[in-house]
Amino acid sequence: MKIKNLTVKGEKQTLAAVSTTPGLELIDSYKISGANRDTQKTHAIDLKDNDKLLEFVFDDGTTWMCDAATMHELFPEVEISKRAADSSFELPETISGTNTERGIFGNIALKLLNVFSKKNVIEGGIGKIADRLEDKLMVDGEGLFRLDKQFKLSSFDNKASEKPFLLFIHGT
């Protein structure tokens, strides 16, 4: 069972001012963080037909895309609200890391919610959309990089060194 309604407290954005993901039709956008949630309007998003794709953009630069059927992966508390008769879920302004005991991960603020139409996802092919999203998010591209003390990537210069190198290979 998926969530049927999503309640959002925030400022509705004008669509022309919002950066969009190529290949998707943006139908709504809401600014969540920085807004005084007590004074902001409440917006209802109908998800019962599962015809919308949701893009959550967080303050740390993380982007997460899902639909009503997979929203529980990002917000496990959706499972509790699905038991209610109206199946409405109020979007929280932050998410918490699962392991906060050492203080490494705390709350991450939700900055923006973009709502896309799923119609163009099927027409354009999910593979093309995934490639475009990857290109948008991978500013530095693929290859071999050096990581400095501030965790910034720079080009690997291939100079000889007396110090050892650590090669980190990441794949999915």
Residue 15: both structure tokens together: 């669509």
Residue 91 makes CB contacts below 8 A (sequence gap 6+) with 6, 7, 8, 9, 32, 75, 110, 113
Q: Tokens 């008769």 map to which residue?
A: 85
**Residue 149: per-residue pLDDT:** 80
Residue 98: both structure tokens together: 């699962």
Closest CA to 114 of 4, 5, 10: 10
Q: Are 124 and 131 in contact (CB under 8 A)?
A: no
Q: What is the mean pLDDT of the chain?
A: 76
pTM: 0.64
- Write out the DSSP string of the chain: ----EEEEESEEPPGGGS---TTSEEEEEEE-TTS-TTTSPEEEEE-TT--EEEEEEETTS-EEEE-TTTGGGT-TTHHHHTTSSS-EEEPPSEEE-S--TTSSS-EEEEEEEEEEESHHHHHH-HHHHHHHHHHHH-TT-SS-EEE-TTS-EEE------SS---------
Residue 153 has pLDDT above 80, yes or no: no
71-108 tens-digit pLDDT: 888 888 887 755 555 568 888 888 876 555 555 557 88
